[in-house]
């Protein structure tokens, strides 16, 4: 390509400081080094993790930075997805050699989760890419780079939900809907969706929820409500909010002896989980999940194949598609709870 070995100047949404709006800037993207790939981003999702870091709540957040981690793009003739897989330097906002490939106005910009998809071009380590079917619509399958895969895999791989079981999903955003989808795929007999926003209930039912509960409709703690509803507690629960009080409630809603609760949501810096030891010594299990237990390079192409064969919902998560320049509008839609996922197209 004509740009091989050269710096590319392009548009990117730069987070200069925590708690400040993203700024659309012209940035320089340096050529990739050994073991790296530079790609043209075609589409990217906006995830709550991007907002979480931008807010300053992320203990690993570094600034200035190019956020974004649910991306799909083209490397020459190969189509790839960016995945939020982990490696030693990613939490520091650096490439594997300890440097960055982004710069703007004479300043270096940090990378984000090894992806930085809020840019027309980005450089990633080859471990962060997954080659997928070239026929797949990139403005849809980009979402398999984080949220859908994480929630879906939490049920299938982390909890290993069994057929005929009862599940509870706390939080009915994209993560929660994906967890519901995973529970349904596993053959769960009863799936209870919990959220404070009843407007989300019809969508949750479309994804597979058999029951929906609004904690505000009850005077008792939600864990007590669920224990009564299920004659002793659920077999599996999933916390998809990032609230430590809800994490506790999700655990305590599980059945004694075998109940398993999986934490998917990311809590703010400095937050700690707590419960009485009795909850655990009576046989409950508390787990966390990263990327739904999937190995990105091997698993993401298979998930794309499932989607292409109409065995996995993805299109249904995309409620808004906006041009990249409207990224701020996308964040507003997410914060207002008016979307499942916003996809930005370049």
Identify the pLDDT of residue 77.
46
Give the pLDDT band (50/70/90) at residue 49: very high
For the chain, percent of residues with pLDDT exceeding 90: 89
- DSSP tag of 278: H
pLDDT of residue 144: 97
Other Cβ atoms closer than 10 A to 69: 27
Q: How many C-beta neighbours within 10 Å does residue 194 have?
A: 29
Q: Nearest Cα to 128, choosing from 68, 54, 62, 64?
A: 68
Condensed to tens digits (0 to 9), the pLDDT of residues 249-299 reads 999 999 999 999 999 999 988 999 999 999 999 999 999 999 999 998 999
- β-bridge pairing 65-66 and 107-109: unpaired
DSSP, collapsed to helix, strand or coil, labels residue 122 as strand
Rounded to an integer, the average pLDDT of 133-142 is 97
Length of the chain: 346
pLDDT digits (tens, 9 = 90+) for 56-115: 999 889 999 999 999 999 996 456 677 765 566 777 999 999 999 999 999 999 999 999
Q: What is the pLDDT of residues 170-204, one digit of tens each?
A: 999 999 999 999 999 999 999 999 999 999 999 99
Whole-model pTM: value is 0.94
Question: Between these two residues, 322 and 126, which has the higher pLDDT value?
Answer: 322
Domains defined along the chain, listed by start: 8-131+314-345 (3.90.180.10), 151-290 (3.40.50.720)
Q: Express each pLDDT in 138-160 by its tens digit.
A: 999 999 999 999 999 999 999 99
Q: What is the pLDDT of residue 85?
A: 58
Helix (H) or strand (E) holding 81: strand 78-82
């Amino acid at each position: 390509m004509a740009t091989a070995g050269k710096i590319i100047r392009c548009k990117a949404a730069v987070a200069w400081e925590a708690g400040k709006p993203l700024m659309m800037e012209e940035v320089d993207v340096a050529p990739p080094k050994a073991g790296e790939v530079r790609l043209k981003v075609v589409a990217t999702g906006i995830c709550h993790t991007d907002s979480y870091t931008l807010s300053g709540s992320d203990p690993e957040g570094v600034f200035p930075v190019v956020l974004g981690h649910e991306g799909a793009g083209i490397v020459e003739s190969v189509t790839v997805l960016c995945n939020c897989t982990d490696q030693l330097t990613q939490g520091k906002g650096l490439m594997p050699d300890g440097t960055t490939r982004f710069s703007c106005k004479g300043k270096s910009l940090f990378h984000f989760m090894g992806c930085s998809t809020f840019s027309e071009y980005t450089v990633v380590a080859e471990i962060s890419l997954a080659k997928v079917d070239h026929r797949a619509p990139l403005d849809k399958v980009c979402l398999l780079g984080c949220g859908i895969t994480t929630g879906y895999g939490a049920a299938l791989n982390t909890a290993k939900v069994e057929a005929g079981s009862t599940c509870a999903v706390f939080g009915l955003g994209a993560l929660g809907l994906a967890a519901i989808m995973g529970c349904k795929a596993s053959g769960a007999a009863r799936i209870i969706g919990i959220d404070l926003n009843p407007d989300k209930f019809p969508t949750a039912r479309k994804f597979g929820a058999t029951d929906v509960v609004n904690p505000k409709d009850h005077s008792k703690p939600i864990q007590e409500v669920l224990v009564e509803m299920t004659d002793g507690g659920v077999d599996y629960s999933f916390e998809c909010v990032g609230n430590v009080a809800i994490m506790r409630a999700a655990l305590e809603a599980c059945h004694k002896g075998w109940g398993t609760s999986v934490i998917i949501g990311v809590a703010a810096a400095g937050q700690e989980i707590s419960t009485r030891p009795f909850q655990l010594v009576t046989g409950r299990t508390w787990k966390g999940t990263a990327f739904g237990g999937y190995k990105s390079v091997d698993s993401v192409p298979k998930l794309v194949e499932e989607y292409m064969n109409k065995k996995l919902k993805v299109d249904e998560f995309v409620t808004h598609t906006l041009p990249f320049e409207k990224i701020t509008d996308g964040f507003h839609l997410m914060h207002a709870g008016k979307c499942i996922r916003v996809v930005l197209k370049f």
